[in-house]
């Protein structure tokens, strides 16, 4: 009997898109087809946004990491952590050695507003703030001024909501979480008591999802404010606009519950401001004030009324989406890898996840995305595997590659360090120390 052809696939990026791509390949194996998978990750730590994106007070979402580790434990899966594709290893070195290369590198650069004052100290992107509190080694030194009493979050999506909760909840609620130590200490010392969340359209247009909204009335130490009239008007506009789908109905109901919950007089407050378009961030040496234009909705369209209002603050966090950080050898368009349904035309490169479709969807969305792209990848495979030689010989000797055994040691060390403190893990944020934990 002929041996089963074994195709070699490189996956770049050890986040949800990367692991679900590996899983889709593993699931597609048959008596006629098998894969060996090499996963490359620039950090010594794995799991992408599950580690450095998901909010620490949402530990259930992180349990998907168990699935990732199961995928990594399957035969013919190799991990090359601490290896940066585009820097340590070129795309041109990967492509000839693999039957396919799948870019699962996400989108890590925050979109900007393009308004005056955005560069002032105290104005930062969620793309910096989120990895700061999650202990991403590159973001440990982000300056997050927490000495004022007010913060303003711009954007009405789930990332804005995560940022608002991290600033707005009582910090003891973060004690049993894996919030990075530096951020945990800073948030305990934070003077911020009021967090505004500003959306440029109405509550009915917000990108928050209902489970996130439904958490708000349950916060034990924070009052959450949205004007009753704002919710009523949103309902009226939504009804006037036509049929209300299930998701919107669920959001409108969640808004009603927030608006109707009596305030308890907590000193910590989160307040939603809708129809508020950021116009300018003002300040001399740091952020002092944000000017918002007041919008209205006329005939279903968002219109600037010409009126403005301002909020005094020393901290503005912009959470309005992301674009991909370009990698040498890959072409990008509109902040994504240039692709046709996941194929990078004319190459043996594919892409899955935020790098492919932009920053949308929850972690599970990457599962169906990966399985769709893997189907195309399999359609495109040649009749015989390529046998282009092993990549290990090309990786510069000076790089300490973190393999699956090494990552397992890092993971175990963090979990053990956390256990003593009643936390799921204590994250190490120093790359050299992470590498030494793998030894």
Residues that bind ligand NAP (CB under 6 A): 113, 154-160, 162, 199-201, 205-207, 209, 212, 278, 319-321, 359-362
Which lies closer to ligand NAP via its Cβ, residue 108 or residue 158? 158
Which lies closer to ligand NAP via its Cβ, residue 165 or residue 343? 165
> In whole angstroms, what is the distance from residue 199 CA to residue 160 CA?
10
Which lies closer to ligand NAP via its Cβ, residue 82 or residue 366? 366
Q: Which residue is nearest to ligand NAP (CB)?
A: 157
Q: How far is CA 275 from the centre of its chain?
A: 25
Phi, psi (deg, nearest 5) at residue 17 = -65, -40
The angle at the Cα of 105, spanning 99 to 109, to the nearest 5 degrees, equals 155
The string of DSSP codes covering 372-385 is HHHHHHHHH--SS-
> In whole angstroms, what is the distance from residue 203 CA to residue 181 CA?
35
> In whole angstroms, what is the distance from residue 107 CA to residue 400 CA?
25
> Shortest distance, CB of residue 395 to ligand NAP, whole angstroms?
32
> Shortest distance, CB of residue 311 to ligand NAP, whole angstroms?
14
Other beta carbons less than 10 A from residue 288's beta carbon: 17
> Shortest distance, CB of residue 156 to ligand NAP, whole angstroms?
3
> Shortest distance, CB of residue 226 to ligand NAP, whole angstroms?
15
The angle at the Cα of 134, spanning 199 to 24, to the nearest 5 degrees, equals 90
Which lies closer to ligand NAP via its Cβ, residue 283 or residue 293? 293
Which lies closer to ligand NAP via its Cβ, residue 77 or residue 292? 292
> Shortest distance, CB of residue 126 to ligand NAP, whole angstroms?
7
> Shortest distance, CB of residue 300 to ligand NAP, whole angstroms?
14
Closest CA to 271 of 162, 194, 170, 167: 194
Please list, in sequence order, all residues whose beta carbon lies within 8 angstroms of the beta carbon of residue 166, skipping any fewer than 6 positions away.
Answer: 55, 56, 57, 129, 133, 174, 179, 187
Which lies closer to ligand NAP via its Cβ, residue 96 or residue 364? 364
> Shortest distance, CB of residue 276 to ligand NAP, whole angstroms?
9
The string of DSSP codes covering 194-263 is EEEEE-SS-GGG----HHHHHHGGG-SSEEEE--HHHHHHHHHHHHHTSPPPHHHHHHHHHHHHHHHSPP
Which lies closer to ligand NAP via its Cβ, residue 62 or residue 343? 62
> Shortest distance, CB of residue 364 to ligand NAP, whole angstroms?
9
Q: Is 108 helix (H, G, I), strand (E, B) or coil?
A: coil
Which lies closer to ligand NAP via its Cβ, residue 104 or residue 156? 156
> In whole angstroms, what is the distance from residue 177 CA to residue 171 CA?
10
Which lies closer to ligand NAP via its Cβ, residue 97 or residue 111? 111
Tell me the sheet residues that pair with 152.
196, 316
> In whole angstroms, what is the distance from residue 439 CA to residue 434 CA?
9
> Shortest distance, CB of residue 15 to ligand NAP, whole angstroms?
12
């Amino acid at each position: 009997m002929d041996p089963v052809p074994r195709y070699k696939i490189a996956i770049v990026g050890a986040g949800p898109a990367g692991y679900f791509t590996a899983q889709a390949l593993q699931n597609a194996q048959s008596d006629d087809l098998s894969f060996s998978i090499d996963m490359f990750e620039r950090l010594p730590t794995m799991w992408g946004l599950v580690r450095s994106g998901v909010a620490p007070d949402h530990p259930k979402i992180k349990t998907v990491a168990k699935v990732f580790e199961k995928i990594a434990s399957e035969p013919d899966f190799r991990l090359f952590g601490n290896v940066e594709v585009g820097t340590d290893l070129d795309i041109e070195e990967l492509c000839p050695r693999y039957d396919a290369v799948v870019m699962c590198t996400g989108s890590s650069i925050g979109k900007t507003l393009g308004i005056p004052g955005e560069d002032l100290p105290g104005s930062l992107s969620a793309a910096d703030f989120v990895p700061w509190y999650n202990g991403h080694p590159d973001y440990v030194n982000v300056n997050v001024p927490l000495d004022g009493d007010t913060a303003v979050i711009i954007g009405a999506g789930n990332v804005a909501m995560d940022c608002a909760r991290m600033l707005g909840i009582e910090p003891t609620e973060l004690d049993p979480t894996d919030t990075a130590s530096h951020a945990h200490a800073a948030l305990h010392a934070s003077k911020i008591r009021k967090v505004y969340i500003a959306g440029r359209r109405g509550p009915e247009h917000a990108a928050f999802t209902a489970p996130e909204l439904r958490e708000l009335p349950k916060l034990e130490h924070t009052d959450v404010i949205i004007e009753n009239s704002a919710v009523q008007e949103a309902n009226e506009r939504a009804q006037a606009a036509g049929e209300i789908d299930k998701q919107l109905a669920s959001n409108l109901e969640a808004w009603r519950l927030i608006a109707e919950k009596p305030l308890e007089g907590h000193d910590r407050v989160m307040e939603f401001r809708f129809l508020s378009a950021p116009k300018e961030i003002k300040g001399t040496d740091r952020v002092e004030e944000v000017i918002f234009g007041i919008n209205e909705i006329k005939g279903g369209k968002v219109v600037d009324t010409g009126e403005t209002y301002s909020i005094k603050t020393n901290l503005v966090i912009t959470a309005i989406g992301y674009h991909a950080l370009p990698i040498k050898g890959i072409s990008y368009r509109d902040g994504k890898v240039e692709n046709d349904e996941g194929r990078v035309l004319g190459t043996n490169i594919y892409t899955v996840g935020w790098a492919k479709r932009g920053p949308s969807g929850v972690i599970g969305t990457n599962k169906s995305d990966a399985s769709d792209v893997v189907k195309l990848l399999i359609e495109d495979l040649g009749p015989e595997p390529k046998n282009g030689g092993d990549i290990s010989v090309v990786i510069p000797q000076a790089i300490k590659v973190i393999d699956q055994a090494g990552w397992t040691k890092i993971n175990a060390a963090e979990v053990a360090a956390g256990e003593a403190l009643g936390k799921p893990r204590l994250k190490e944020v120093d790359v050299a120390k992470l590498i030494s934990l793998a030894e």
